[in-house]
Amino acid sequence: MSVSKKSVQFVVWFVVLVFAFVSLACNGGGGGSGSVSLQGAGATFPNPLYQKWLSEYGKLHSNVRIDYQSIGSGGGIKQLKEQTVDFGASDAPMKDDDLKSAPGEVLHIPTVLGAVVITYNLQGVSQPLKFSSEVIADIFLGKIKKWNDPKIAADNSGVALPANDITVVHRSDGSGTSAVFTDYLSKVSAEWKEKVGSGTSPSWPIGIGGKGNEGVTGQVKNTPNTIGYVELAYAVQNKLPVAQIKNASGNFIEPSIDAVTAAASASAANTPEDLRVSITNAAGPQAYPISSYTYILVYKQQKDAAKGKALVDFLWWGIHDGEQFAKELQYAPLPADIVKRAEGKISSITAGGKTLR
Amino acid sequence: MSAVTYQSSWRRALSPTGNTGDAVFRVLMMLVALLMVGIVVAMVIALAADSMLSIRQFGFGFLTSQRWDPIKGEFGALPFVYGTIASSLIALLISVPFSLGIAIFLVEQAPSYIARPVGFLVELLAAIPSVVYGLWGIFVLAPVLREYVEPALATSFGWLPLFRGSITGIGLLTGGIILAIMVTPIISAVVRDVLAAVPGSQREAALALGATKWEMIRVVLVNGAPGIAGAVILGLGRALGETMAVTMVIGNRPQISLSLFEPSYTIASAIANEFTEATGDLYLSALVELGLILFLVTFIVNGIARLLVWNVTRRTGGVGRAA
pLDDT above 90 (res A212)? no
pLDDT in tens, A280-297: 999 999 999 999 999 999
Which residue, A193, A194, A199, is CA-closest to A181?
Answer: A199
Summarize pLDDT for A82-94 with one digit per residue, the tens: 999 999 999 989 9
pLDDT attached to residue A23:
63
Task: Please give the pLDDT value at position A222.
Answer: 87
List, in order, residues 6 or more apart from A78 with CB less than 8 Å away.
Answer: B279
Q: Show residues of chain B in contact with A207, CB under 8 Å.
A: 253
Contact check, Cβ <8 Å, A200/B248: no
Question: Structure pTM?
Answer: 0.83
pLDDT at B322 over 50: no
pLDDT band at A75 (very low <50, low <70, confident <90, very high): confident
Chain A's closest residue to B141, CA to CA, is: A222
For residues A230-246, average pLDDT = 91
Mutate to test the interface with A, among B140, B248, B277, B288 (most CBs of A within 10 A): B277
The CB density around residue A153, as the number of other CB atoms within 10 Å, is 14
Please give the pLDDT value at position B14.
Answer: 58
| Percentage of the residues of chain B whose pLDDT score is greater than 70 | 91
Span A21-39, mean pLDDT? 64
Read off the pLDDT band of B1 (50, 70, 90): very low
d(C-alpha A153, C-alpha A170), whole Å: 23
Residue A335 DSSP one-character state: P
Query: CB of A118 within 8 A of CB of A181?
Result: no
Q: Which comes out higher in pLDDT, residue A10 or B118?
A: B118
Contacts of A145 (CB under 8 A, 6+ apart): A165, A166
Residues B82-104: tens digit of each pLDDT:
999 999 999 999 999 999 999 99
3-state class of B18 per DSSP? coil
Check whether B319 has a pLDDT greater than 50: no
SS3 for B275? coil
Whether the predicted pLDDT of A205 surpasses 80: yes
In the predicted structure, residue A30 carries a pLDDT above the cut 70: no
Query: Looking at the partner chain, which of A71, A95, A172 has a beta carbon nearest the beta carbon of B273?
Result: A172
**What are the beta bridge partners of residue A40?**
A68, A87
What tens digit of pLDDT does each residue of A306-356 get? 999 999 999 999 999 999 999 999 999 999 999 999 999 999 999 988 888
pLDDT band at B229 (very low <50, low <70, confident <90, very high): confident
A2 has a pLDDT exceeding 60: no
Cα–Cα distance measured from residue B195 to residue B107, given in angstroms and rounded to the nearest whole number = 7
Q: How confident is the model at residue B323 (pLDDT cuts 50, 70, 90)?
A: very low
| Probe site for chain B from A91, A99, A100, A219 (most B CB atoms < 10 A) | A219
Distance of CA B205 to the CA centre of its chain: 35
Per the prediction, chain A carries an average pLDDT of 90
Residues of chain A with pLDDT > 70, as a percent, come to 94
Using the Cβ of B22 and the Cβ atoms of chain A, whether some distance falls under 8 Å is answered with no
DSSP B165: S
Please report, rounded to a whole number, the percentage of residues in chain A having pLDDT higher than 90. Answer: 72
Q: What is the dihedral of CA B167, B173, B177, B183, to 10 degrees?
A: 160
Burial B82-96 (b: 16+ CB within 10 A, else e): bbbbbbbebbbebbb
Q: Which of B69, B138, B247 has its CB closest to that of A203?
A: B69
**Number of other CB atoms surrounding residue A238 within 10 Å:** 13
Nearest residue on chain B to A79, judged by CA atoms? B279
CA contacts within 13 A on the Cβ side of B246: 35
Residue A64 is inside which H or E element, if any?
A: strand A64-69
Categorize the per-residue pLDDT at A28 as very low, low, confident or very high, splitting at 50, 70 and 90.
Answer: very low
Flag the least confident range among A63-67, B222-226, B267-271: B222-226
Interface of A with B (CB under 8 A): 44, 71-75, 77-78, 95, 98, 165, 167, 172-176, 196-204, 207-211, 215, 218-219, 222-223
User: Alpha carbon of B182 to those of A118, B101, B128, B234, B240: distances in Å?
Assistant: 34, 16, 9, 12, 12
Buried b or exposed e, range A199-237, using 16+ CB within 10 angstroms: bbbbbbebbbbbbbbebbbbbbbbbbbbbbbbbbbbbee
Q: What's the whole-number average pLDDT of chain B?
A: 89
Averaged pLDDT for residues B272-287: 88
Assembly ipTM: 0.78
For the segment B179-204, the average pLDDT, to the nearest whole number, is 93
- The alpha carbon of residue B124 and the mean position of all alpha carbons in its chain are separated, in whole angstroms, by 18
Measured between beta carbons, which residues in chain B are less than 8 angstroms from residue A222? 138-139, 142-143, 169
Under a CB-based contact definition with an 8 Å cutoff, are residues B170 and A167 in contact?
no
**Pure H helices in chain A:** 2-30, 47-60, 73-81, 96-101, 133-141, 150-155, 176-188, 190-195, 212-222, 232-237, 257-267, 305-320, 336-347
Q: Give the pLDDT score at B7.
A: 56
Q: How far is CA A79 from the centre of its chain?
A: 17
- pLDDT over threshold 90, residue B19: no
The arithmetic mean of pLDDT across residues A64-72, rounded, is 92
Report yes or no: B237 at the A interface, CB cutoff 8 Å: no
Task: Give the model's confidence band at A73: pLDDT under 50 very low, under 70 low, under 90 confident, else very high.
Answer: confident
With a CB cutoff of 8 Å and minimum separation 6, the contacts of A173 are A201, A211, A212, A215, B272, B273, B274, B276, B277
- What's the gap in Å between the CA of B244 and the closest CA on chain A? 9
- Say if B302 is an interface residue toward chain A (CB within 8 Å): no
Per-residue pLDDT band at B306 (split at 50, 70, 90): confident
Look at residue A45 and give its three-state secondary structure.
coil
